[in-house]
Amino acid sequence: MRHQRGSFSVGLLQYLSISLIILVFFTSSLLNVLSDMRLAKEIHVSVQEIRQKSALHYANQVLQSRCLPQTTLTMALIGIPDNDGLAKYDVKYIQRAQPNSAPSGIEIRATLHDKEMVERVARLLSPTQQNNDTFIFHFPLRNQLHDWQQLNVNNGCIK
């Protein structure tokens, strides 16, 4: 039996071609997942920054006004731009049902500009709820008043 010339080269070429196709497929899949993770991380970091600055803003407002009830919270008040190129953000207080009481939490809405990213990023974030292209996050607002006897229950302000 004779050996055919180039049979080793053809087998090697087939192996390399198939390996290259598989490598390209896995690399593109991995890059897509890493890109989605990066976008989700950017949104998460922005939401956490808004959360922290909102809580600080509330504490400062209570110190200045000496009143627990606060109604106005906006992105402009906390000094963060409402648009970072990836999403548009909105923030507000979650009000309690009782009149003249402190807000119970902070609601942050992140509306993505790119509608195609919503499903890809949604599985990596943990919003309280999601409406179409908007992620809604709720965070409790902790307010501690050490001496409740000093609170005027008629207006929610400290005497």
CA distance 35 to 23: 18
pLDDT in tens, 101-136: 889 999 999 999 988 888 889 889 989 999 988 999
Alpha-carbon distances of 103 from 28, 106, 143, rounded to whole Å:
46, 8, 9
Whether this prediction's pTM lies above 0.85 is answered by no
Contact (Cβ atoms closer than 8 angstroms) between residue 17 and residue 107: no
Alpha-carbon distances of 18 from 22, 23, 30, 82, rounded to whole Å:
6, 9, 18, 48
* pLDDT value of position 29: 81
Residue 86 backbone phi and psi in degrees, to 5? -100, -40
